[in-house]
Amino acid sequence: QVHLQESGPGLVKPSQTISLSCTVSNGSITSGNYVWSWIRQTPGKGLEWIGYTASVGGTYYSPSLKRRTSISRDISKNQFTLQLNSVTPEDSAEYYCARGVPYVGYFDSWGQGTQVTVSS
């Protein structure tokens, strides 16, 4: 079954950039009709959708994070990446990549998550 794995630094300084990669195994990020997504979770806000890159191309971001967010993909590596810049401690969260199913509106596969702490 499709497997997703997050990777990236767990500690980021304020004003800098959270850079994470999601490596997808046993499934192509360009195949089918999926939205390859980033979600984060905090005790205070719960789950928060960040954005996605679609298998057919294109990206879409949460309005609240659009200004600071960039999601891209590396087809040769079967990876998609998240860059969230100008971070503050409020961006500290468990970050997940996940495969979303359009129209139905759920995620059928998740990475294990990676903790990112924003601190000086």
pLDDT level of residue 57 (50, 70, 90 thresholds): very high
d(CA 80, CA 112): 16
d(CA 64, CA 98): 20
**Chain segment 7-48, per-residue pLDDT in tens:** 999 999 999 999 999 999 999 999 999 999 999 999 888 999
Q: What is the DSSP letter of 92?
A: -
d(CA 70, CA 99): 17
- Among residues 67, 60, 111, 59, which one has the least CA distance to residue 87? 67
Q: What is the pLDDT of residue 70?
A: 98
**Chain segment 72-108, per-residue pLDDT in tens:** 999 999 999 999 999 999 999 999 999 999 988 899 9
d(CA 75, CA 105): 24
Q: What is the pLDDT of residue 12?
A: 98
Mean pLDDT, residues 60-81 taken together: 98
Question: Cβ neighbours of residue 50 under 8 Å, at least 6 residues apart?
Answer: 37, 38, 39, 40, 61, 62, 65, 69, 71, 82, 84
Q: What is the pLDDT of residue 104?
A: 87
Mean pLDDT, residues 1-12 taken together: 97
Q: E strands of 8-86, at which residues?
A: 11-12, 18-25, 35-42, 46-54, 59-61, 69-74, 79-84
d(CA 105, CA 90): 27
